[in-house]
Structure 1
Amino acid sequence: MKIQGTPVVPGVAYGPAVLAREEVPAAAIEAFASVTFPDAAAALSAYDDAAAAVADGFAAKAMSVSGAAAEVLAASAGLARDKGMRSLVRKQLNAGEQLLPSLQIAVEHFAGMFTQMGGLMAERVTDLRDIERRITARLVGVAEPGVPVPVDPSVLLAKDLAPSDTALLDPSLVLALVTGLGGPTSHTAIIARQLGIPCVVGATGAGRIADGTWVLVDGTTGLVVTGADPEESRTLAADDAVRRDAIAGWSGPAATADGVHVKLLANVADVPTAQTAAHAPVEGVGLFRTELSFLNRADEPSVEEQAAIYADVLAAFGQGRHVVARTLDAGSDKPIGFATHKGEENPALGVRGLRLSFDNPDLLDRQLDAIASASASSGVETWVMAPMVATVAEAGEFAAKVRERGLKPGVMIEVPSAALQAARMLEVVDFLSIGTNDLTQYTMAADRMATDLAHLTDAWQPAVLQLIAMTAAAGVTARKPVGVCGEAAADPLLACVLVGLGITSLSMAPAAVRPVGAQLGRVTMADCRRAAEAALAALDPEAARIAVRDALA
């Protein structure tokens, strides 16, 4: 059997399938149905205890990881503690409903609301279902469902994985990851890239693979095969392991085979990820996600608190390497209590990112003060960019604030209007950074977690590449840097296309740096330009990948 999915993390693996346990045992749920509570208050108290235990579990996991994994786990902890969810459970209990049905009704309400909102909020439905299963397990007295720990190195198969499960995968035991649902920019895909585990998502039909079946996974082509010749499959996996070992020895700096320099940078979110990235062959940080220090805070951190956190991140890189800090990217799937607008009908298209400063300019001013203070105390060159910029006027106002503090201003290209006006944007800012995850989502009008639309939420889409090409060309004309800090930068094949389009820097999870650098070193700039032309001429992502592989062969 051959199943075609969407490739996320390149690599070839062959091993026995291990299936993720996704549901609470039906027998335990049936037994709990006979449990009675004295009144609605007692039932709500049981819910509170279970929800708190689940939230504490997420928080504890967040403390043991870093970067994107810590970010999504912290967000899941906040969702488990959500007062709106509790209020709806209480309402059902007061109306005479039993506890488990009350929880189910509350989850269905929010799942429907998130789905209707679309965009990044739709992605939270997976997290919400995970929380429901975990609270249910706590209530009925069984272990929380999740990913089993393989005894031997295995291929993990799942209908879908919550970030809480993906974040804790052990790359020494999980050879590859295959999910039936999800898209290339989902949280699961992002964390898989951070871990460096070969990954294929949107592999419809993977659920038909039985536990223990030997599976060949190609994270470059997105092909998942059962019944493949064992000897040939082991040879393919072994050859790929040799290739990856060779890549592990790549030490930078990045350049094409004919000596054209390409700046490779790291994406970081906190001090641990910054310290890890500092030891990678990178020339600095292309995306410092500053919002991690805001998550799960009921109140805004002071300027001094923020400055201390930022300074520690900057200090990890020392002088000689620069750090690009992104201002608060809150809203949509990353709600923050003191900043995010409540009750938005469609938060993915609402007040998020820079837009939070429109009616609360002091929030941005205080963060910029903190970044400036951290830059001064650490002595590290600091660039600052704003997310979700849609107009030249917004870019100009932001740039003025940044320059007042002696820092270098830029904006993220995530909204198609910003890409269309890239040349004018560069008249008021010093650099651009393309966030391909959101740019793809907004360009293609497709939810990132809609499996049926995974072919649309793919940065290989020619329309998305056209916008990237337009933005890069504006940078060449203005002689100003244009980078990519979205997940597309971590794809070695797509990296060649981006460089061929004129992108000057690529920022990614540290685990992706060596594969990208090694790939660029095998091709010339002329090869990259041919690859870019081939990708732009293709009609869809799969055709684009094939055309680029042929162009670089």
Structure 2
Amino acid sequence: MPEPVAAVPTAEMLRGLGISPGRAAGRVYRMAGPPLLPSPVPVTDPVAEVARAVLGLETVAEELAQRAAKAADPAARDILEAQAMIAADPMLRESVDEQVRAGLDAAHAIDTACAHHRQMLLSAGGYFAERASDLDDIRNRAVAAALGLPMPGVPSPGHPFILTAEDLAPADTVNLDPGVVLALVTEKGGPTSHTAILARALGLPAVVACHGATGIADGTWASVDGDTGEVGAGIGEEAAGEIQRRALAERDRLGEASGPGRTADGHPVKLLLNIGSVADLQAGVAAEGVGLFRTEFLFLDRRTAPTHEEQTSAYAAVLRAFPGAQVVLRTLDAGTDKPLPFLGLADEINPALGVRGLRVARRQPDVLDAQLDAIAEAAAASDASPWVMAPMVTTPGEAADFARRARSRGLANVGAMVEVPAAALHARRLLDEVDFLSIGTNDLSQYTFAADRQHGDLADLLDSWQPALLYLIAQCAEAGRAVGKPVGVCGEAAADPLLATVLVGLGVTSLSMSARSVPAVRDALARHSIAQCRHNAELALAARDPDEARRAVREGW
């Protein structure tokens, strides 16, 4: 059990949402702000001004593409590649051209065009709204390029530090050195923001939606608790040194653990990985298989669907990496809220509630059938027995149709993702049709609380400790227990060590997460009996809000 940390005297205690577990302490330094726009200047040569504005966008697109190529982490690479595509979008360039011809200089044209496109993304909601912060970063970089100013970026004080910012763009975080940056704290963002995804991938403690974080003066000694969301400013060098010493000792201890997931009294809990390709598999991580293979990464940025051979090869590579183990492949999770060019789906007023996930098969069943054909062939050529599941399953009828398609191709383990309340409420009926359930807590939170995943002011509603969310998870787990079928969690909730004990206590049979999260979750389970996990679940369900739930369970830690 980790050493208790003594009460730290603080000049100020800020509170946000902890989205990447762990503790850290050090001096705080703020991210450099966006470039300031100078006063507008008259445009005497529109052609030259358009060329200057377009060059600014091209410079950003090329820089982002280069950063993507150098990114070691696959999740970061995918995010940066998508951001580079936005910077190179012909529609954005056309909008900049229109603004210049309306009389704006290059920098102001970029600013106005990006603001217009940003509003369109926010109005579209869902996946599109999640790209708004990407556009902010592109605007800042393109304006700086047009003005001949340095790009906004991470400070370099010459020693390890805690990075604070209003928000962090993928281009800022992708090349962060965990040996220099001790923790991340932002004023905006939520549990599924890019900051959260990349912080977990880097293994950095992180807190988002922390109002006042950028008001902490550079050089201030501070502590960050990625579990509780607490940021202590002005704690003093001696206290910071002690917190950091204990954090490093705890990290070393966790790195030495190995073996399958199980509670202190031997109750098995599979610890699995969330991946987008075989490149995501990290050496030295003792996971028991893959709980979420996001197959849509193979389809990104394509004007035509990948060939049968391309799909088969990609799926087979992951299956070969885990011979005889559980490998869960999620069929294409895309649609109008996660657009893929080759699908050619029309825009929708509310894409998050539209044609996405399994619903794409209503219009283009051949895409799903082709994917299932490739998975079946990959399985036949390996020693693995893949599990296949569909995203955005809502009704038992949809589950039955998907199961029929998969089983007709010889795929024996067929499941459904639980991402909408209707699926959770009818989990027992879904299990009449499929062999397992996998709960995607990110989307299940969004739909349960009617809160956009990127809305910083609503981040508390997306807290994985929300008792109402835990109640829906409990419903699913109970349904699985009643019929003897597995129910796992593959959302970000699975990566929280303390919450993992609650999920297991609710009856969840597997937890799937990023590779860096596995050691801490394994350790947390190993220090709790199944009876203690069930008690933790009772405490969390009885709480009135996430803070009370987290506090009640932590007090018994």
TM-score using structure 2 length: 0.94
* 1:14-163 alignment, distance < 5 Å: 14-24=25-35, 26=36, 29-30=37-38, 33-34=40-41, 36=43, 38-40=45-47, 42-63=48-69, 64-163=71-170
**Structure 1: which 5+ residue stretches go unaligned?**
none
Inter-partner Cα distance in structure 2 for 1:201 and 1:340: 35
Q: CA deviation at 1:87?
A: 2.9
Which of 197, 201, 211 matches 2:208? 201
Inter-partner Cα distance in structure 2 for 1:502 and 1:534: 15
Q: For residue 15 of structure 1, give the secondary structure of its aligned residue in structure 2.
A: strand
Q: Which amino acid is 2:359 matched to?
A: R
Q: Which amino acid is 1:56 matched to?
A: E
> Does the 8 Å contact 1:13/1:217 carry over to 2?
yes
**Structure 2: which 5+ residue stretches go unaligned?**
1-11
> Does the 8 Å contact 1:120/1:447 carry over to 2?
no
Inter-partner Cα distance in structure 1 for 2:124 and 2:373: 34
Q: CA offsets, 1:491-526, max 9 Å, x none? A: 000000000000000000000000000010000001
Q: CA offsets, 1:52-94, max 9 Å, x none? A: 3322322222232333222222221222122332232233334
Q: For residue 251 of structure 1, give the secondary structure of its aligned residue in structure 2.
A: coil
Which residue does 2:543 correspond to in 1? 538
> Does the 8 Å contact 2:106/2:146 carry over to 1?
no
Equivalenced residue count is: 544
Q: CA offsets, 1:81-138, max 9 Å, x none? A: 2233223223333434433333222222222222233334322211110011111122
Q: CA deviation at 1:38?
A: 3.1
Which of 222, 232, 240 matches 1:233? 240
Which residue does 2:4 correspond to in 1? none
Shift in alpha-carbon separation, 1:347–1:448, aligned structure 2, 3 A: same
Q: For residue 449 of structure 1, give the secondary structure of its aligned residue in structure 2.
A: coil
Alignment RMSD: 1.8
Inter-partner Cα distance in structure 2 for 1:149 and 1:424: 56
Q: For residue 185 of structure 2, give the secondary structure of its aligned residue in structure 1.
A: strand
> Does the 8 Å contact 1:119/1:446 carry over to 2?
no
> Does the 8 Å contact 1:58/1:74 carry over to 2?
yes
Inter-partner Cα distance in structure 2 for 1:246 and 1:100: 51
Inter-partner Cα distance in structure 1 for 2:59 and 2:387: 40
Which of 205, 228, 231 matches 1:221? 228
TM-score using structure 1 length: 0.94
Inter-partner Cα distance in structure 1 for 2:27 and 2:273: 33
Shift in alpha-carbon separation, 1:491–1:54, aligned structure 2, 3 A: same
Q: CA deviation at 1:333?
A: 5.5
Inter-partner Cα distance in structure 2 for 1:406 and 1:146: 51
Which residue does 1:341 correspond to in 2? 345
Which residue does 2:386 correspond to in 1? 382
Identity %: 51
Q: Which amino acid is 2:97 matched to?
A: R
Q: CA deviation at 1:415?
A: 0.9
Inter-partner Cα distance in structure 1 for 2:128 and 2:196: 16
Which residue does 1:366 correspond to in 2? 370
Q: For residue 362 of structure 1, give the secondary structure of its aligned residue in structure 2.
A: helix
* 1:407-426 alignment, distance < 5 Å: 407=411, 408-426=413-431
> Does the 8 Å contact 1:74/1:295 carry over to 2?
no
> Does the 8 Å contact 1:304/1:370 carry over to 2?
yes
Which of 254, 260, 265 matches 2:272? 265
> Does the 8 Å contact 1:150/1:173 carry over to 2?
no
Which residue does 2:6 correspond to in 1? none
Shift in alpha-carbon separation, 1:538–1:243, aligned structure 2, 3 A: same
Q: Which moved more, 1:335-344 or 1:430-439?
A: 335-344
User: Are residue 247 (structure 1) and residue 254 (structure 2) matched?
Assistant: yes
Q: CA deviation at 1:344?
A: 1.6
Inter-partner Cα distance in structure 2 for 1:148 and 1:380: 47
Q: Which amino acid is 2:352 matched to?
A: A
Inter-partner Cα distance in structure 2 for 1:332 and 1:133: 27
Which residue does 1:189 correspond to in 2? 196
Q: Which amino acid is 1:341 matched to?
A: L
Q: For residue 363 of structure 2, give the secondary structure of its aligned residue in structure 1.
A: coil
User: Are residue 290 (structure 1) and residue 261 (structure 2) matched?
Assistant: no
Which residue does 1:301 correspond to in 2? 306
Inter-partner Cα distance in structure 2 for 1:143 and 1:477: 61
Which of 10, 16, 22 matches 1:11? 22
Q: CA offsets, 1:10-61, max 9 Å, x none? A: 222111112111312x3xx538x54856334x44443333323322322222
